[in-house]
Copies of this chain bind each other. A is one copy, B any other.
Amino acid sequence: MYARTFIEYAFVGGISIASRKEVAILAGVSEATVSRVLNNVGPLKEETKERVLAAALKLGYTPSSLAQSFARRRSGNLGVVMPYLPKARLFSTYYFSEILSGIGSKAREEGYDLLMLFRNADEPMDYNELFKMRKIDACIVLGAKEDLGELASLRRLKEEGHPFCLINQHFEGEAFHEVDADHVEGSWTAVRHLLDQGFTRIAFLNGPASYSNSRDRLTGYLRALEESNLPLDESLLFEGNFSRKSGAVAAKKMLPLLNEIDAIVAANDRMAIGLQQGLQELGIPRDRIPAMVGYDDSDAAELTTPALSSVRVPFYELGEIAVSKVLELQGNSRSEISTPSQVIQIKLPTELVIRASSKSKKSEEE
């Protein structure tokens, strides 16, 4: 015997929860009408509306998201894939917390909830499963890199037509939706700034080449040199993994070349700071430490001595835009005439923030 006798209550945590049925009875209408009122669907008599709303209020009725999602076949969740960072923080937390804030802000605005998904570094994540399970309606991928498993996962996602968007990563030759900052420009501006100060031997501490933004930065670096007719000196190119430690390691490598280097551009602030500290610890006097420009304009840039010039990246906005776009895709895909909407590839401008670390010695003395 499954049928409820009359009005029976569902219990959660010891407290009764009213359901649509009870509201309908109290308001003296059908359940469908209750639904209509709450979803504001179809023509409704004003008086009915009020009666239903009053009944709902009185009973403390709130529709179950679970049931709604099920009936609508949409979870209402926006997935956010993050690299799983149990202890090691390869990325600056600044980076993620800013992007997340942007994502959270826009998602809430659009009525979506944020489901956090942590990707293990080793095993690539099966994004498709998440859609098949209906856990998420759309998804934003952070910190992706050019990895075979990753790429395969994303390709399948695209094949199956699931709406997703990458932030800060471009896959060459793959028409993925991507939102990024213009790192070619950002890097170019940083180098340009140093050149303008009279520096010509500019070293470059880049991130891993598996990230497209690293490659973009290199492009910007090369372009700026080229425009000034400066030759590329490959011995001035270094690579770290975005950690402060890797900056310190780079410092050691640079040591023998320090005479040849009068300025350095780093691919993020943490490495730049590692570099600063590393050189200091190696006994380089402060006035011999090359001019420096970091990248991200994180909090940390203002914490060091000297304060670090840095390329500001609009992380918050990246997050916001990614959400907008991916939810647009979501909406479109529901319409029958799903035009194979063109690929979204957005590049936001960066901005150089100049602080003490990149001043030429001359201007410093003034």
Using a CB–CB cutoff of 8 Å, the interface residues on chain A facing chain B are: 12-15, 17, 60, 62-67, 69-70, 73, 75, 77, 84-87, 89, 93-94, 96-97, 100-101, 104-105, 108, 113-118, 129, 131-135, 159-163, 244, 273, 277, 299-300, 302-305, 316, 333, 338
Contact of A65 among B60, B135, B300 (CB under 8 A): B135
Contacting pair B70 A66 (CB below 8 A): yes
Contact of A303 among B13, B96, B273 (CB under 8 A): B273
| CA A97 to CA B13, docked complex, whole Å | 31
Contacting pair B62 A132 (CB below 8 A): yes
Tell me which residues across on chain B come within 8 A of A135, comparing CB atoms.
65-66, 113
Could you show 13 A-B contacts with beta carbons less than 8 Å apart? A12-B131, A14-B161, A15-B159, A15-B160, A64-B133, A66-B73, A66-B75, A87-B101, A100-B116, A105-B118, A113-B115, A115-B116, A277-B303
| CA A300 to CA B266, docked complex, whole Å | 18
| CA A175 to CA B96, docked complex, whole Å | 35
What is the copy number of this chain in the assembly? Answer: 2
Give the 3 A-B CB pairs with smallest separation, nearest first: A13-B161, A93-B97, A114-B116
Given the known inter-chain contacts A70-B66, A86-B105, please indicate yes or no for A162 contacting B132, CB distance below 8 A.
no
Q: How far is the CB of A285 from chain B (nearest CB, A)?
A: 14
Tell me which residues across on chain B come within 8 A of A67, comparing CB atoms.
70, 134
Given the known inter-chain contacts A97-B96, A118-B108, please indicate yes or no for A62 contacting B129, CB distance below 8 A.
yes
Most buried by B among A105, A132, A277: A132
Contacting pair A134 B273 (CB below 8 A): no
Tell me which residues across on chain B come within 8 A of A118, comparing CB atoms.
104-105, 108
Contacting pair A116 B104 (CB below 8 A): yes
Contacting pair A101 B85 (CB below 8 A): yes
Q: How far is the CB of A312 from chain B (nearest CB, A)?
A: 14
| CA A132 to CA B84, docked complex, whole Å | 31
| CA A52 to CA B161, docked complex, whole Å | 28
Q: How far is the CB of A77 from chain B (nearest CB, A)?
A: 8
Contact of A162 among B13, B113, B116, B273 (CB under 8 A): B13
Tell me which residues across on chain B come within 8 A of A159, comparing CB atoms.
15
Most buried by B among A70, A273, A333: A70
Q: How far is the CB of A191 from chain B (nearest CB, A)?
A: 24
Q: How far is the CB of A93 from chain B (nearest CB, A)?
A: 4
| CA A115 to CA B112, docked complex, whole Å | 11
